Chains A and B, each alone.
Chain A
Amino acid sequence: MRQISMRELYEILKQIFPLGELTEQRSNLAFITVDRAQLRPLLLHLRDREGFTHLVLLTAVDWIEDGSFQLTYLLCDRLGQRDLGLRVMLPRDGAAMESIHDLWPTAATYQRELREMFGIAFPESPRVEEDFILEGWTGTPPYRRDFDTLKYSNETFAPRPGRETRDPEGYMKEQLYPDGN
């Protein structure tokens, strides 16, 4: 069987589903933006018809300036030696997403992590409300961009005095060119 390129696959998929833009990163890796409603049928189609049987990862990116979360579902077709990432944009306020744990049981773990680290709700996912990594965390979910980890650490953990922090650029300039040239 001739190996089809990612663009050809995109054209095939586009006849069935309304798709967003395509980013070809490498010849065997591409990312497609998908609408939230299209995600589940598209995942099923890719898994059962196109051979993308392996869910590599499910993660989120916080685009705080656009007010949205990007969920990335990365699928791998081992025999076809290619990967396809699906990007789903969610509004940042009250972010919630449908669970896909019935397609891949491992997705439940990813969703638990996203729930805890980004505060994205996955209502039907099993054990999603349980603590996963953190214990008794009540503040801003730590992976959100508006959470300042250094400030939190300094306030909470009583740092040992005597630590000097320098801006690398200024410090190197000072060390290498002390007379200011």
Chain B
Amino acid sequence: MRDELKKRVVKTPDGQELEIEPLRDYYCEAPPTVMPAAYSKIVEGLFNWARAESLWILGFGTGCGAIEMRPLMTPRFDAYRYGIQWRPTPRQANLFVISGYLSVKTLKRVIRSYEQMQNPKYVVGLGSCTINGGMYFDSYNTITRLDEYLPVDVYIAGCMPRPEALLSGFEELKRIIKSGKAEGANRYAENFDWYKANQKRVIQDWDMPDYNW
């Protein structure tokens, strides 16, 4: 664990001594809760339509799949016309595209970024390596199944998938959202302990709070 995360006593400028424990003090530790559907089916349908038409992707290229994101952003494939755009921070995004293999070190950052995203949120696994490890099935440093650690809504197979495949995957995600079946965030909340146990089994050096908003 890094020094700045350890429990310690600090002195304030006016001379007080404070005991701080960064992992507990700076984060809200309450686990996520299940978000109930809206009170009426029509309203929920309207919400889902709105959610499906504004997929904002977190700009975090976790693997080599990130290279096909760039053509998607530009006039040739132009994902913006489907209401898809890229945002720099997790707070502004609701879709996390895991672009390819995840090494254990990145998995840790991905979990933090995912938990900081606002509900409702969706995960798309891009590339064969998120499904079963793909080319790296025997690597000691890449996970083989993404859905053990995060709730995945859509997988896009291929190594690497073409931009058209990505667009079709996003269309599929929209269809799922509109039919009200994209309940990834709720699944994560319901099976929170199972997900955390899986994550902790893989990440050797767990120096972060269990949940961070």
Contact = CB atoms under 8 A, between A and B. Distances in A.
A163 B132 contact: yes
A45 B21 CA distance: 54
Contact of A142 (B105, B140, B142, B205): B140
A134 B132 contact: no
A160 interface: yes
Contact of A158 (B137, B139, B144): B144
A138 B138 contact: no
B140 A136 contact: no
A152 interface: yes
A135 interface: yes
B32 to A, nearest CB: 23
Contacts of A15: none
Contacts of A137: 204
B107 to A, nearest CB: 10
Contact of B144 (A134, A136, A149, A157): A157
B202 A157 contact: yes
A157 B105 contact: no
Contacts of B143: 157
Nearest to A149: B140
A138 B140 CA distance: 13
A69 B121 CA distance: 50
Interface string A140-181: 001000010110110011111011000000000000000000
Given A134-B105, A135-B105, A135-B108, A156 B201 contact: yes
A20 B149 CA distance: 53
B138 A150 contact: yes
B138 A149 contact: yes
Nearest to B108: A135
A152 B142 CA distance: 11
B196 interface: no
5 contacts: A135-B204, A153-B133, A153-B137, A160-B145, A163-B137
Interface of B: 104-105, 108, 131-133, 137-145, 148, 198, 201-205
Given A136-B203, A163-B132, 4 more contacts: A135-B104, A138-B204, A153-B138, A160-B131
